[in-house]
Structure 1
């Protein structure tokens, strides 16, 4: 899935130069107020000689904060003398969405992680996706895309992979996921969410191993999620020889889980205020009450009880109490191999 066309985004960073460089990716964007303007997307390149390249991304969705903080700290803390290879850090990939605190870009309402591989001459969000697909992924030996639940969802900390095209590819991804060491490791067949239009899908098509995370959410900041990401990244760096002398703790056991069909998702059928009956991390049974939606019309209309369609572990929950028809209230995961 190689993107077509030559990118219009540019930077002064020399990706082959040793040392630490902080700069912007410059995305051309002409407006009434700035005819020759550019959108500045922060980037840091840390390089020291030959070795693997790690591409680290946060702010793919602008309202997901743990990864943005982790990568901002890492860009300042890691020194070139300690590196063997190269680390590329983009803590605010969808910069317009990051500044607005939104999942989608305010420039074009684009959901960056649903627009890969992008277009060279498309909307601003499509141009960002195209640059990642056509320029950055060609340099990468591993990608870590740090997500959280954003405004609308709260998540248990987890690391996600897509099943590989071969058994060997899947085994390699499983190894990296266990090294990263999030409490839950989730395996997807790639058919849910954005399907073929996510960063992980395009990276996989280009043969680049990719780890994705969920680290918290609800528009808040989780220190526990930040710690999972920070420790996981340093373990990956040491495992790949990028930071061979990094001091790391052994990864904790990873509970391997998966989303089992559409029944894993519970949706709101009406407009209402949601009173949940369970919490993140709870184990639930099929038919169990998930909570009640209280209609906005008033008390003359009885609340509607919501029930789970299948059994599993509550991996994410809607954060805002107000829900509309079609809003996801819960997502369940089940242990790999469980019937």
Structure 2
């Protein structure tokens, strides 16, 4: 992997003050041989201090984080901070513009392509820029997501496990400060594994707090407000934000999602009739719902059961499903030993 990014920008991350511009993502098409795609970026710097990188729009159909970061980009000035805040509300701009999870240019899912490639596809170039340019500057990354068009999430926040007990406890503290009612630990099982932004940051020692704030490609207002206030609390916590009137966080239920057994998948095509709601506590073997065949309506629907106990944190948003689609995700309460910190191999 080359360390030389092909993306450029008029933004000078070392310049004092507030700068508003965009990254230039090079693109060559039939209609624009030497073109570029704008990726909006705001850099706010005031003196020496920590750096926070705020990211939204990794997936284009997830809106709470994008709008929360837009709010903060308008609200914050250099007099509000000590250190540096870099805000990128629409990181995968082609996907944002299209309202899609993946880029219409190369079908790239940005959060499955880290650490990226300097001379790769458009989406790989974005991942590479984050890995090679932004992460080395960062003391904290806050990456805001939701369920997009296919899933609906309870507002929650998540971290990867720390590599040492001390690091793990610091990450748990960031979950508590962000203040989502649910905070959970995941190693990426059933998701992006080692190809995500948090995984790339883990290799460099940069802490990442990710949030899931709603879903269905709609806007969850409570998720939006949580995103904005949670980011402000974290900026205050690490010594960047100068304000004293940041809202208090609610108590956080710390949970775990590090097993594929906690995800329920469709074993056949059909229409999914769920029997649970977000926030429900379920038992092992409990009926999760029914899958109704659309080409064999005279057949009895297939029953879908939970293979373990837990709490429903997200479920499928569209009713029509294909075999292999995730239908429900569960969380389980963290064991006391996990709350005190644990070592974890990357």
Question: What TM-score comes out, normalization by structure 2 length?
Answer: 0.95
Could you say which residue in structure 2 is the equivalent of 1:208? 206
Unaligned runs of 5+ in 2: 338-346
**Cα distance change on mapping 1:86 and 1:338 into 2, 3 Å:** closer
Query: In 2, distance between residues paired with 1:338 and 1:209?
Result: 22
1:82 aligns with 2:88: no
One of 30, 38, 41 as aligned partner of 2:36:
38
Could you say which residue in structure 1 is the equivalent of 2:342? none
Q: Secondary structure at the match of 1:281?
A: coil
User: Which segments of structure 1 move beyond 4 Å, counting only runs of 4 or more?
Assistant: none
Question: What TM-score comes out, normalization by structure 1 length?
Answer: 0.97
Unaligned runs of 5+ in 1: none
Could you say which residue in structure 1 is the equivalent of 2:267? 269
CA offsets, 1:188-214, max 9 Å, x none? 234441111100011111011110110
**Cα distance change on mapping 1:78 and 1:131 into 2, 3 Å:** same
1:220-235 correspondence runs (5 A): 220-235=218-233
Query: In 1, distance between residues paired with 2:13 and 2:288?
Result: 50
TM-fit CA distance, 1:316: 0.5
1:12-23 correspondence runs (5 A): 12-23=10-21
Query: In 1, distance between residues paired with 2:3 and 2:46?
Result: 31
Query: In 2, distance between residues paired with 1:320 and 1:4?
Result: 40
Q: How many residues align?
A: 337
Q: Secondary structure at the match of 1:176?
A: helix
Query: In 1, distance between residues paired with 2:2 and 2:230?
Result: 34
One of 223, 243, 247 as aligned partner of 1:245:
243
Could you say which residue in structure 2 is the equivalent of 1:103? 101
Could you say which residue in structure 2 is the equivalent of 1:291? 289
Query: In 2, distance between residues paired with 1:20 and 1:100?
Result: 29
One of 102, 113, 116 as aligned partner of 2:114:
116
Could you say which residue in structure 1 is the equivalent of 2:196? 198
Kept after mapping to 2: 8 A contact 1:162/1:200: yes
**Cα distance change on mapping 1:93 and 1:24 into 2, 3 Å:** same
